[in-house]
Amino acid sequence: MGGAKVVKTDEEWRAILTPEQYRVTRDRGTERACSGAFWNSKDDGVYHCVCCDQPLFDSQTKFDSGTGWPSFKEAVEADRVTLKSDRGWGMTRTEVMCSRCDAHLGHVFNDGPAPTGLRYCMNSVALKLEPRLPAAK
């Protein structure tokens, strides 16, 4: 796992997250399509969990899925995310959570591009982008 487990009370989460971040990450909500900051971003860097700062997805694995949410081919390391069956909303999907703090990030689908065939469909509000530093000359 990417680091020690982060456990906070609801009150502690509410103190550090915006209401929308809390709704999505702690109450397993979903932001509206095309409403998040990163759905069409081309910025270079690594996307971290907004709750615990664990690195989750590299912008180099991001692709335009046409869904209105940021989509990635893979996590930076498999152990950075936890997958769980989600039977909500009358369908069965696979929920993606941060392995360090159990934040709800989005869902993963088997309709992504090669080589993984996966589409990690994430909520922008659950992520923060840490820009990649230029290589030293």
Query: Catalytic pick from 51, 52, 98, 121?
Result: 121
User: b/e map of 82-110 (b: 16 or more CB within 10 Å)?
Assistant: eeeebeeeeeebebbbbbbbbbbbbbbbe
Task: Note if 121 is an active site residue.
Answer: yes
Q: Which of 65, 46, 78 is nearest to 110 (CA)?
A: 65
Measured CA to CA, the distance from residue 54 to residue 116 in angstroms comes to 22
Catalytic residues: 121
